[in-house]
Chain A
Amino acid sequence: DTEVTQTPKHLVMGMTNKKSLKCEQHMGHRAMYWYKQKAKKPPELMFVYSYEKLSINESVPSRFSPECPNSSLLNLHLHALQPEDSALYLCASSQDRGAGELFFGEGSRLTVL
């Protein structure tokens, strides 16, 4: 199994809503990542988890809250988002931190109204 699975594929939410994005991998990878990708732009790193601990937060606003319940799961909790937060949110994993070879999910396309 070499997949990273993200749910939901599409999400529309209002600025007062609370929602979550979920990511799952069963490759035994110990590092997991959240990226944000705006249209026609490269992905931008948001968070890195290594061995279930947050190791990098790229100065992401607190309205984005990551969580790593176990080594296979990564969540991104969303609250009080702004329309400019609309983007494709990509989850990725790698065998270990900094391994370079990232395995990406298909992404969750978020629209904030």
Chain B
Amino acid sequence: AQSVTQPDIHITVSEGASLELRCNYSYGATPYLFWYVQSPGQGLQLLLKYFSGDTLVQGIKGFEAEFKRSQSSFNLRKPSVHWSDAAEYFCAVALSYNTDKLIFGTGTRLQVFP
């Protein structure tokens, strides 16, 4: 069965430090890949997405992610974290462009210390 794994349940970083959140998927073909962020008490906001083409994609709020087919990964990165980045981050996959069913990972909670 298709699945999305976010190995890190909770990550703590200092403000200004770099960040990498891991995401691995299990699927025979290349899925459509997304990262969403959820601040406390809020809905989810799309950070970035990958459908095809350049494997390094830029998103909002200074985030980027790199698709690595050989590793079935789509890790999210940010060079310098701000305190406002503290939130829950969800990786998600869609099995084709025309599917309603996003498969979400279990999420990674990011805590930022000053």
Chain A residues with CB under 8 Å of chain B are 4, 6, 31, 33, 40-43, 45, 48, 50, 55-56, 90, 92, 97-107
Contacts and interface: CB of A to CB of B under 8 A. Distances in A.
Interface of B: 32, 34, 41-46, 49, 51, 90, 94, 96-102, 104-107
A100 B49 contact: yes
B104 A55 contact: no
A42 B35 CA distance: 12
B106 A98 contact: no
Given A41-B106, A42-B105, A101-B49, A55 B100 contact: yes
A86 to B, nearest CB: 16
Contacts of A55: 100
Given A43-B44, A106-B42, 10 more contacts: A4-B43, A6-B43, A43-B90, A43-B104, A55-B100, A56-B100, A98-B97, A102-B46, A102-B102, A106-B43
Contacts of A33: 100
Contacts of B96: 98
B99 A98 contact: yes
Contact of B44 (A40, A45, A102): A102
B100 to A, nearest CB: 5
Residue of A48, A98, A107 most packed against chain B (CB within 10 A)? A98
Contacts of A40: 107
Given A97-B100, A98-B99, A104 B44 contact: yes
Given A42-B90, A42-B107, A100 B43 contact: no
